[in-house]
Amino acid sequence: MRNDLTLALDVGGTKIAAALVDADGTLVHQATLPTPRTDAEAVWAVTERLVEGALAAGGGAVRRVGIASAGPIDLPSGTVSPINLTAWQRFPIVDRVAAVTGVPVRLGGDGLCMAMGERWRGAARDAQFLLGMVVSTGVGGGLVLDGAPYDGRTGNAGHVGHVVVDPGGALCSCGGHGCVETVAAGPRMAQWARSQGWAAPPEADAKELADAALAGDAVARQAYERGARAVAAMIASVGAVCDLDLVVIGGGVARSGALLFDPLRAALADYAGLDFLRGLRVLPAQLGGDAGLVGAAALAVAA
């Protein structure tokens, strides 16, 4: 019977997941429910149901809670205001979860938790200076520096999707212009490809774009190469600032494999000219959708 479990939560705009994670980083219980699109208390009711279910499954062995949440988050107040979950604005998730569980609660951004998960059980095991990234509908990230999670002042460090790679570029959802997310996020790549003549229905996304590129569509391939170069430019910049030795990339766009990684690595060789960056490795993530849960547990254990 396991007597030391971590309850992990992963809160997103589409779904909320809960898991029990043992000392080896293995998920021994897992449940997922859709995220309501109504009001704050409806979202909390689903979260509470998942927490109570995990507590029951743990049989009194839960010692701590880790929460991965889409951002922005605010660590000092223990609140979250996810862009893709408008029902929660400055929602006091840490206090709410602590009241239900009675154990210490650690909150982290979903990008940081992804990085911690990959470092514990995935492609970045034991990396000391790591950027974990998700390239999907948006572009997110988290930093592990000198072997420790780096939250920053408010908990939002590593928000690399908003590194500017094209100062005169398109308007971003953050209000700025030319962020890497405006070039490399799946919907933005598909939008650019359609503007260049890619014949695809309006609802076509990065999966259809990848299929077209693999089938030989020149515009679709250019869209991936353009996105890859933007990600490479961002990685070179963040790598220089943080002296990274490894970048791990997951998410829907990254699942295209060589279509993204080959031009990305080629472009990184052009951008990363400093001696200490020439050994910077870029690898695909291994944990898929479980990375946030595993990483939230890792964050709680580290605390």
On whether both 103 and 165 belong to a single domain, the answer is no
Range of the domain at 36: 5-114+290-302
Q: Which two tokens stand for residue 10?
A: 């992963």
CATH number of the domain that residue 242 is part of: 3.30.420.40
- 8-50 pLDDT, tens digit per residue, is 999 988 899 999 999 999 999 999 999 998 899 999 999 999 9
On whether both 109 and 62 belong to a single domain, the answer is yes
pTM of the shown model = 0.92
Decide if 119 is inside a domain.
no
- 50-105 pLDDT, tens digit per residue, is 999 999 999 999 999 999 998 899 999 999 998 878 899 999 999 999 999 999 99
Give the span between the Cα atoms of 76 and 102, in whole angstroms.
Answer: 19
CB 112 within 8 A of CB 101: no
On whether both 235 and 298 belong to a single domain, the answer is no
On whether both 150 and 163 belong to a single domain, the answer is yes
